[in-house]
Each structure stands twice: as C-alpha cells, then as structure tokens.
Amino acid sequence: MNLLLVEDETRVADFIRRGLKAEGWVVSVATDGETALAMAAAETFDVILLDIMLPGMSGQTVCRRLRMKKDLTPVLMLTALGDVEDRVAGLRMGADDYLVKPFDFDELLARIDALVRRAAGFQDRETEPHLLSSGSLSFDTRSLEVRCAGQLIDLTPKERDILKLFLSNPGKIFSRERILNSVWNLNEDPQTNVVDVYIGRLRRKLGPGGEPIETVRGAGYRYRTRGEP
C-alpha cells in the first residue's frame, strides 16, 4: 500500500514515516504543496496524509487542486488547527477526514484503515475481546488482572499497555516508535531507551511467560504465541 505524506516538519514527518513503514506502508514524503501535487500526478497512492500548514501553498489548496484534477485519492488532513471552521473548510475542499495534532498514532492508523476500507467499499465489523491470552499468560482488560500460570502478576499501567498491545497482535512486529505512541502518546521520538527499559521490566515480571517477547533486530519487538515457529 502506497501513502503520500505531505508534512514540512522534519521530525514529525520522520516519526510518522517510520511508524507507518513498520506497519507495512510504502511512504513517500513531500515537504511542500507543489511537490505533493507533482508526486500525486506521477504516481498512484492509496492514501494522502496532508498537513494544512505548509510553506507557500496551504494543504487546503493542495486538496482543492487534487479534486479539480479528478484525483479521488482519500485525503486525511493533519493540522494543529482544531476550530470547527478549519475542519469544515478542509472537508469542503475535498478532504475525507481530519485529524488534529497532537494525535494518537493508533487513531491515525485506524483512520487510515477506515479510509482504505471506505474506498474499497468495506465495513469494519471487528470487535475487541476483553480476555487476551497466550499459553499460560492471560490478561483481562476489564478487571486489568494479569495472570501467568494462574499466579497474579503486578504490572504498572504502562507495562499493562505494552502487554495488551502485544497480546492483541500476536506475531506482529512493533517498532519502538509505534510502542512510544501507543503507550506514551508521543508523536516524536524523544531519543531515549524507555521502550527497551519497560520491555526488560515486563520480561522479568512475567518470567517464563514473557519469553516470547522477541527482539527483532533493526525492527522492534514482537510477541510469539506458543507453538509459533
């Protein structure tokens, strides 16, 4: 899946790009409106993430010109402007959705997925189970009880959030950027090893039940379900 990210703030663009790349997206980046229009004309994209506050041409103008060219690629606008008038203006220019900065990365992914499904004519019918388990490890997301081999494990809220992320997506690799955003709501890399520290704590507390938390060199972490090769 190809995505065009139009964002002039280097750190924000790099963080989003790395996070989406870890999710399997091929991400191209444009830092201004003219470049974005040229790239959209030369290549087919599945989604366009479009910041409103761009140098020179605004994101709203970029969106309007895309629609004038009959380009119907789903557009998700990103902006620090949260007023209703700004959102309405963007939607009237042809945007399909609107997300206000700072945003949660999981919400960004959910909105991108929704745009892709909408474009394909599908509907999301998934429901989230409240009891997550793998082998002797279980996590009740309602009572917040974590048990390993029947023994109650005392985890901090952040440790529970990390465990929930892994158990909800067994076998899936999560980059440090994705974990940072999902658990700490950070849209920029603070250049710390906080994720590695918490993964280490989680492994120690879970004991044998934490062994499947695997370090994938150069990519991040994943939780291997029992019996998975």
Q: How confident is the model at residue 84 (pLDDT cuts 50, 70, 90)?
A: low
> Is residue 43 scored above 50 in pLDDT?
yes
Higher pLDDT, 82 or 127: 82
Q: How confident is the model at residue 127 (pLDDT cuts 50, 70, 90)?
A: very low
3-state secondary structure of 152: strand
**Pair of tokens at residue 139:** 């996590």
Residue 51: its pLDDT value, please?
Answer: 93
**DSSP string across 10-49:** HHHHHHHHHHHHHTT-EEEEESSHHHHHHHHHHS--SEEE
Considering the chain, what is the average pLDDT of its residues?
84
Residue 114: its pLDDT value, please?
Answer: 87
> Is residue 7 scored above 70 in pLDDT?
yes
Distance of alpha carbon 51 from alpha carbon 47, whole angstroms: 13
- Are 161 and 182 a contacting pair, CB within 8 Å? yes
Residue 123: its pLDDT value, please?
Answer: 40
- Residues in a beta bridge with 174: 221
Q: How confident is the model at residue 92 (pLDDT cuts 50, 70, 90)?
A: confident
Residue 79: its pLDDT value, please?
Answer: 82
Q: How confident is the model at residue 105 (pLDDT cuts 50, 70, 90)?
A: confident
CA dist 123 to 44, 118, 119, 120, Å? 23, 7, 10, 9
The single-letter DSSP state of residue 210 is: G
Distance of alpha carbon 102 from alpha carbon 113, whole angstroms: 19
Q: Percent of the chain beyond pLDDT 90?
A: 35
